Amino acid sequence: MGSERLEQDGISFRDLNGNGRLDPYEDPRLPVEERVDDLLAQMTLEEKVGLMFHAVTGVEPHMGAQTPAQIAERHITTFNVYTLPDPRAAAEWHNDLQRQAEATRLGIPVTLASDPRHSYTDNPATSMAAGHFSQWPEPIGLGAIADPELVEEFADVARQEYLAVGIRLALHPQVDLATEPRWARIQGTFGEDAELAGRLGAAYIRGFQGAELGPESVACMSKHFPGGGPQKDGEDPHFNFGKEQVYPGGNQEYHLRPFDDVFAAGSAQMMPYYGKPEGTDWEEVGFGYNKGVVTGLLRECYGFDGVVCTDWGLVTDTQLPWGEVIYAKCWGMEDASTEERVFKIVEAGCDQLGGESCTDVLLGLVRAGRISEERIDVSARRILRDKFRLGLFDDPFVDPDEAERIVGSETFRAAGERGQRRSLVLIENRGILPLQGRPKLYVERVDPARAAEYGELVDRPEDADVAVLRLETPWDPREGFLESIFRAGRLDFPEEELERIRGVLRAVPTVVDIFLDRPAVIPEIAAECAALIGSFGASDGAVLDLAFGRVQPTGKLPFELPSSMDAVRAQLPDVPHESEAPLYPYGHGLASF
């Protein structure tokens, strides 16, 4: 189909038929529901079913090789994009994707989605490092700032950068609660306090979507309903060994509280998590399969009528290019067939299957009479409605020149740098900060060129006036591609590494900064350092600026720092602020030097 533009009553729109006449669904002057009705009536079963799959794509050949066939033959029009090139190339690639979609029978545009991509964490299963985009603290750092206005500012910047390259659906915010300190996904949350998570989640949605969904919006898919986080032993349900979600404190309601604010802010879409609830009234199957949760709780109790998309890969295994297999996260449905899994997800009330492209399986279920076409229409209507509200049918293309100008602009990068500095928590200061003059500095895990702007570098701690160490919360290394990129397990340093660090602390007054993607267990370090800073995704310059008093400390801990691993193992995973005798409590942070 062509992309001719017609002018009627001063309004531009696409004539997808290329014949000078408009179908009602092509006319932007009509109400969205009328346009949806008209288009849905023209769609084949195959085209409707294609809408219900949220596949994966990428610019790299091995990621995007199947995309043209998925669009043309499977009628899939929603894609989650992973790594992107420079802004111009990303915009041009997006436009090519839309041209492929425009060439189909009805010209249904692609909705391009993305996990978070504005901070430091680089985990292809959960988030991408900022790269060409402006770089901000992790969401847990936004929790340390605890300012809804700053969160809305961040989300508005991210919205503009997403729009510039054609991303119209954010697979976030993550309003799960960090009540289990070993959980690998804490850096994507706002912390362990439900009230704060709700307020910040709502601000996040306002920044991305605006007052209502429209052509300048990026839709939000909030996650993970009904609240991830209380995982057994802190393991993550990406894996069979972490599939259980447990509530020994009877605290299910607490994990639902942030969603009240998310719904009030108008989150367009919702994602259930992988976890399988145990010891509750809910069926013991993963939440994406769980009718009592998706239909009973989300649809009927909360009245949510937006798109519900499963988390990625509930149905089929994924073969990686080098031969490794990522197995389906089909908890409670491990022995079921592919057909039974798809049936269970649709019956549960989900509209889209995340990370899947097995359209033939769903088609087979409809043709066999197990799922009605009317049920398919319900989901297709929700998905089309968001495409229309986002203005994708009227003009899905982006301007590569604007992408170059907007993405990672000096103004946006400066805002991200300010956010990083505001997120830093001054946990301990024994009279050493702010550092004065140009001291002799011994540094570890700090860019020497950057550190040289603040002092004279030396090679040995004993030759320094002060040391600056940047550490990371420990984790247990694991084998396997996916397992190796999730930082889970222990929170305390192995004895050998701890003694090495303590050797520096004893040799010279030391400022320790620790990246708190999870709550570290560091009683010995806290006792022996001269100053302790908690960071949540911050540049060397941001940390050094705080150490030298160029910015004031403002951040507060968004979770407790436990006193021991025994205390971690003893606490209830679904209850906040529950660690026995924490080293530092929730909300701790010095407000001055």
Q: How far apart are CA 511 and CA 491, in angstroms?
A: 20
Q: How many CB atoms lie within 10 A of CB 264?
A: 11
Q: What is the DSSP string of 151-181?
A: HHHHHHHHHHHHHHHTEEEE---B-----ST
Q: How many CA atoms lie within 13 A of 116 on its CB side?
A: 27
Among candidate residues 156, 236, 311, 574, the one labeled active-site is: 311
Q: How many CB atoms lie within 10 A of CB 154?
A: 26
What letters, b where the CB count within 10 A reaches 16 and e where it falls short, cover 10-29?
eeebbbbeeeeebbebbbbe
- β-bridge pairing 4-8 and 11-15: antiparallel
- The yes-or-no answer on residue 311 being catalytic is yes
Closest by CA to 198, choosing from 151, 264, 262, is 262
Closest by CA to 422, choosing from 70, 134, 24, 142, is 142
Q: Rg of the chain over CA atoms, in angstroms?
A: 25
Q: How far apart are CA 139 and CA 219, in angstroms?
A: 18
- Please report, for the chain, how many H helices and E strands are present, in that order: 21, 20
Helix (H) or strand (E) holding 48: helix 45-51
Query: Active-site positions?
Result: 311
